[in-house]
């Protein structure tokens, strides 16, 4: 293995998950990819992949080469990125994964602005209803909203974000407003399914008092825009991020319920694979996000 090209080739196979997918991305025929893989294995004297009709699985040697090789490639690219910055610009590709609603409304404009300022940076944005369940090593940055589960990724807070219990005035007029969290059990509720979370258990606190309420949703969806629209139509109570409902609250389409009770915050977090050695384009994009959303994000203006 004389240069980084072989490592990049193997990492492309891992990213695509198949030799056919790698061939498509590399612009080669499947037979050319197979032949190159065989040559690489012969040169190293080790089998890197177990290939069957149904699945592609890396051997221990292949896994080690990908893991250690990815670190070397990142350091190599970071070095040349920094040299390019010294010459006056950012280069390379930035791959970002983010939640559907937040990505559409707030992240996409920030990305477009950053790319316009840095025309030699290509940005690939993937929107998902379950960004944390994606293959995270495929992305340079993963944007997450809410409590961060156990992860080997490094988290950076991008923006503060609370969660509110809301309903339309028409629903409140019809069924009445809850006085305590326990009253939610008698009201129609709507939940957002995301990140395999327990979305029907709503947590509240007031001083030292903690309360967990199990709601029985009549409607659910994996798209936040849908459940917010249902709530505005008076179809149920929702627990939603401040960034999503701030405009509806300001215009009276929704009303905040149980204001004396606090629900857990859901700050916007950007996750990277490591703390040091990030390419210049990744570091500067993170700074771009933080300057755009701090100290006061758009939903609090």
Task: Please state, in angstroms and rounded to a whole number, the distance separating the CA atoms of residues 10 and 24.
Answer: 14
In words, the CATH class of domain 163-257 is alpha beta
Q: Where are the domains of the chain?
A: 4-74, 89-161+267-300, 163-257
Residue 1, pLDDT > 50, answer no
pTM as predicted: 0.70
Peptide bond into 124 cis (omega under 30): no
92-121 burial, b for 16+ CB within 10 Å, e for fewer?
bebbbbbbbbbbebbbeebbeebbeebeeb
Are the C-beta atoms of 140 and 94 separated by less than 8 Å? yes
Q: Is 201 helix (H, G, I), strand (E, B) or coil?
A: strand
pLDDT of residue 265: 93
Token pair listed for 99: 């939640």
Residue 88, pLDDT > 80, answer no
Over residues 123-146, the pLDDT tens digits come to: 999 998 776 665 556 788 999 998
* Dihedral class, residue 62 (left if φ above 0, else alpha if ψ from -120 to 50, else beta): alpha
Residue 297, pLDDT > 70, answer yes
Task: Please state, in angstroms and rounded to a whole number, the distance separating the CA atoms of residues 282 and 270.
Answer: 11
Q: Is 275 helix (H, G, I), strand (E, B) or coil?
A: coil
Rounded (5°) CA angle 41-46-51: 70
Residue 86, pLDDT > 60, answer no
Over residues 280-292, the pLDDT tens digits come to: 888 889 999 988 8
Range 7-14 average pLDDT: 85
pLDDT of residue 32: 87
Are the C-beta atoms of 59 and 50 separated by less than 8 Å? yes
Average pLDDT, the chain: 87
Residue 28, pLDDT > 80, answer yes
Are the C-beta atoms of 201 and 266 separated by less than 8 Å? no
Are the C-beta atoms of 269 and 157 separated by less than 8 Å? yes
More confident residue, 13 or 162: 162
Task: Please state, in angstroms and rounded to a whole number, the distance separating the CA atoms of residues 258 and 263.
Answer: 10
More confident residue, 21 or 265: 265
Pick the CATH number of 4-74 from 3.40.50.10800, 3.30.1490.20, 3.10.129.10, 1.10.10.10: 1.10.10.10
Q: How many CB atoms lie within 10 A of CB 90?
A: 22
pLDDT-derived band of residue 106, with 50, 70 and 90 as boundaries?
A: very high
> Is domain 89-161+267-300 in CATH 3.40.190.10, yes or no?
yes
Task: Please state, in angstroms and rounded to a whole number, the distance separating the CA atoms of residues 121 and 130.
Answer: 26
Over residues 32-81, the pLDDT tens digits come to: 888 888 888 888 888 888 876 567 888 888 888 888 887 777 777 767 66
Residue 102, pLDDT > 60, answer yes
Task: Tell me whether the CATH fold assigned to 89-161+267-300 matches the one assigned to 163-257.
Answer: yes
């Amino acid at each position: 293995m004389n240069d980084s090209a072989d490592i990049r080739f193997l990492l492309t196979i891992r990213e695509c998950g198949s030799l056919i997918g790698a061939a498509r991305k590399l612009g080669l025929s499947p037979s050319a990819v197979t032949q190159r893989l065989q040559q690489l294995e012969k040169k190293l004297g080790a089998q890197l992949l177990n290939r069957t009709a149904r699945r592609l699985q890396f051997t221990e040697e292949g896994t080690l080469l990908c893991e250690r090789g990815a670190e070397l490639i990142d350091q190599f690219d970071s070095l040349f990125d920094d040299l390019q910055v010294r010459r006056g610009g950012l280069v390379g590709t930035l791959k970002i994964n983010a939640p559907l609603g937040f990505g559409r409304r707030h992240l996409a404009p920030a990305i477009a602005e950053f790319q316009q300022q840095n025309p030699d940076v290509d940005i690939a944005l993937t929107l998902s209803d379950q960004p944390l369940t994606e293959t995270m090593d495929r992305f340079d940055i993963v944007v997450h909203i809410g409590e961060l589960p156990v992860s080997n990724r490094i988290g950076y807070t991008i923006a503060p974000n609370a969660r509110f219990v809301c309903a339309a005035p028409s629903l409140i007029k019809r069924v009445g407003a809850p006085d305590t969290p326990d009253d939610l059990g008698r009201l129609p509720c709507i939940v957002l399914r995301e990140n395999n979370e327990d979305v029907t258990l709503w947590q509240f606190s007031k001083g030292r008092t903690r309360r967990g309420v199990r709601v029985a949703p009549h409607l659910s969806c994996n798209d936040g825009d849908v459940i917010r629209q249902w709530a505005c139509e008076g179809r149920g109570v929702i627990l939603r991020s401040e960034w999503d409902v701030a405009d509806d609250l300001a215009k009276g389409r929704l009303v905040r319920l149980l204001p004396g009770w606090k629900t857990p915050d859901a700050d916007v977090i950007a996750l990277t694979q490591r703390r040091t050695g990030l390419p210049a384009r990744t570091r500067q994009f993170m700074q771009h996000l933080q300057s755009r959303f701090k100290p006061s994000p758009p939903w609090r203006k």
